[in-house]
Structure 1
């Protein structure tokens, strides 16, 4: 028996049938639909996915006909009797209950939206299943304004799609930024594009109450909200497991071993509700992502069928689209590395997604985080209009394969001018990583610059005079890179930090200075563009 009929649950059911043609397989699903495209739900709200039926990937009847699997929708599992090997189920529409037997039980209940105990929270709509999206779609025509509470993946997707529907949209996030996996300088373009598209973005302030047509914030301000969406986050749907006495961790995740066994040998668990292993340090983590849920469903079926497989650790690779901007990440961010006290190097680049001479080239921002001692890739982030997805996917693949950051320089990647560059942005990250690892280059981060200047370092701007006049870092001295060889004598003694727009010309300048007897020059990583994004100036 499988409890939960979406990503992990239906993957387990279908895979198990392919491996065992004789097993009696039953799926219990509380909502009225199975195998629906929950990642597509916000886009139906916005009208991007016009037909509701496009979200419904399978029906109980089709699953029965093709796989001979019994699927009961609108049916809630209410209790597990582990000794008797039975599950009590209740028909949602009638309340009728019955007990069903199992030999092996798979829990795939997913995660549910967090609804904090705020006054009026009952008016806020969540987004977990097709019934939820139906409720939102039904409410939109009568609404002129909407407040989205929470700036995670679902929150920003809902904000965008409600803008597409013509609503006045406010997005409230209690922390200082949306998209927590991103570091501050990487999230700046996300904040900008939300505001450019009319979203009233409120950061660093919490919601205190929800009224009939407005939302009140902790700073005393109010926002118009005919429609309120709660996208604060999700929590494991582990109540059934808890009542059955199965082991949970402190955050409510179902604890499983590497073969998905819970604390009961005949009960397995997969998907968003289970505790996973972090790929970098092996720690327990909760990662509610569809790809991992689908893979775990497949793997638990393998285990039940007697195949020798194990769960894999997670990197947390994810991507979201926001008003045409691709925002992706994998592994750890800088904030987490700092908290963990792990020594690391940081690399920022701002390449075009394909050859600059080919029409349509657009700049993106990439950030690579590297172990300072081993050259291990610890994480990456990318933001840009195009090409971010494949670069983060390549880096996530490299991390899974155990490649070092310098090894990225050696990757043989497909190239034609409309798709990439002869030196792909991923290769360029590898070149920079190699230079840092071998000591050829030294860099300094945007948030370290002010302290270096206060300690006496001279900041040398090697851009052109026009660039300097258009915007400059306070205290910077202009000396264009093409004039540097002839004017080195003008430079003061002491530490030098060089910068250009994105870091390439500054690297050349640092090498010129080193050859002239000024070693130890540091390059402002990512240049003026990264400094602007990080400081907001």
Structure 2
């Protein structure tokens, strides 16, 4: 009987365990995680803090008891794998509650260690500075807000988590400011769409300081690199994610140029008995084939499926990643897939761009909003390279259609012919996606 050990019990690890059991009813499966909570929806944590999700426990998808009772899978929380002994196909495990160490053997090992929030080295970081990367981080922020009742918050970093935290803390009644290192927020958006998002923040009372970082913290006074000073009794650090690769490095597994663990088409590392999935892995860009790391939930779940299929003898090769993603900022949604304007320029690709600004659905229907859709393509091959959309509604379905089009190999000219849903509450006879195709005709 085959035995599989999984390191990490959140999205990727928990899904891999479930998939293994689905395809093999007899396999012995053990999951180790150093945290106290497993299989929680990390993407929901900002909304729990903001009170949008009222019941904190609702983002916990499963418990060790449920995994044992329903799937016959052993999950040991507060247990950390501290060493991989590849030659013996063993791991050294430490019980964090007792300090006791023991070994466990495997036929296959899946690494799903995730990533850690990057914390800068800044003078004065004390009890009112937090990051949000885990369930415990969420609880710590909630506890601080309930206990200290802060009135001003500064969010350092305007990526997904930073923007979602800014909105949710604003919902709680805090005065919120964002400090961001780059010239424009959410750097995976093209600059023109980023400015629309920034305007939305400003309209809801969020101050935004770009081209700046926090240099020093003196009590509640934050000193910025641009000379400004901000007062804040709560600071959220959201400047990036560092993949947790130390265990893989210690085992001599290759780390790629993106900082993630290198994997093949079946999520195997250099060692054919060791797989790696999720935020800590390096994969390939769907369009260019270049190394790419996408620390998002959808790729992690897909990679878990691919690893499980390979281990159980029914392999399905992975394909490259587009990095399709979306977020909500107050009354606007912003979504993207594929390459950005900046990435296209950096890679020296031949490209043209089509922009359509219109309505999400029929303008005469009372519930409609403005929508901006932007698509990059190769003018010679007509290949779709990337797409972005921002608006009040209907953003997700346009990017979903375009992500599917890219994946399926459709060209910019094919978009005009797509037969998409139409009724006044939903779209127009010529959907914005169709309009992109029409506008690209040469």
Assess if the C-alpha contact under 8 Å between 2:327 and 2:335 holds in 1.
yes
- TM superposition shift of 1:252: 2.5
**Count of residue pairs brought into register by the alignment:** 435
1:180 pairs with 2:215: no
Partner of 1:156: 163
How far apart are the structure 2 equivalents of 1:345 and 1:32?
Answer: 49
Match of 1:119 in 2: 123
- Greater CA drift, 320-329 or 78-87: 78-87
Between 1 and 2, higher relative CO (CA 8 Å, sep ≥ 6) is seen in 2
Aligned twin of 1:481? none
Pick one of 326, 330, 333 that aligns with 1:326. 333
1:400 aligns with 2:407: yes
- Matches of 2:21 and 2:391 in 1, distance apart? 42
Q: Distance in 1 between matches of 2:73 and 2:243?
A: 26
User: In 1, are the aligned partners of 2:387 and 2:399 still within 8 Å (CA)?
Assistant: yes
Pairing of 1:336-375 with structure 2 (within 5 A): 336-375=343-382
TM-score by length of 2: 0.97
* Cα distance in 1 between the residues matched to 2:24 and 2:112: 20
1:79 and 2:83 aligned: yes
Q: Deviations over 1:164-201 (max 9, x none)?
A: 11111111101011111111111111101111111111
Structure holding more strand per residue: 2
In the TM superposition, what is the alpha-carbon distance from 1:277 to its structure 2 partner?
A: 0.3
Most deviating of 210-219 and 278-287:
210-219
The partner residue of 1:189 within 184, 196, 200 is 196
Contact 2:266 2:315 in 1 (8 A): no
Deviation, 1:407, is 0.2
- The 5 Å alignment of 1:128-527 reads 128-141=133-146, 142=148, 143-433=150-440, 435=441, 438=442
Whole-Å separation in 1 of the counterparts to 2:95 and 2:234: 30
Aligned to 1:35: 39
Query: How far 1:122 moved relative to its partner?
Result: 5.3
* Contact 2:221/2:231, CA 8 A, preserved across alignment: yes
Structure 1: give runs of 5+ residues left out of the alignment: 439-537
In 1, the alpha carbon distance for the partners of 2:221 and 2:17 equals 44
Post-superposition Cα deviations, 1:430-473, rounded to whole Å, max 9, x if no partner, equal 1111x2xx3xxxxxxxxxxxxxxxxxxxxxxxxxxxxxxxxxxx
- What is the alpha-carbon distance in structure 2 between the residues aligned to residue 176 and residue 219 of structure 1? 13
Any idea what the Cα deviations from partners look like across 1:24-48, whole Å, max 9, x if unmatched? 0000111111110000000001000
Query: Match of 2:353, SS?
Result: strand
For residue 152 of structure 1, report the CA deviation from its aligned partner.
0.4
- Over aligned residues, Cα RMSD in angstroms? 1.1
Render the CA deviation track for 1:510-536: whole Å, top value 9, x for unaligned: xxxxxxxxxxxxxxxxxxxxxxxxxxx
Structure 2 residue aligned with 1:7: 11
- 1:16 match: 20
> Where in structure 1 do 4 or more consecutive aligned residues deviate above 6 Å?
none
Is contact 2:258-2:291 (8 Å) kept? no
- State the distance in 1 between where 2:135 and 2:75 align: 17
Task: Please tell me whether Structure 1 or Structure 2 has the larger radius of gyration of its CA atoms.
Answer: 1
Describe the shift of the 1:131–1:300 C-alpha distance in structure 2 as closer, same or farther (beyond 3 A): same
CA apart distance, 1:308:
2.5
Aligned residue number for residue 98 of structure 1: 102
> What CA distance in whole angstroms lies between the structure 1 residues aligned with 2:363 and 2:203?
26
104, 111, 117: which one aligns with 1:107: 111
Q: Please tell me whether the aligned partners of residues 115 and 121 of structure 1 are also in contact (alpha carbons under 8 angstroms).
A: no
TM-score, normalization: structure 1?
A: 0.80
Q: CA deviation at 1:92?
A: 2.1
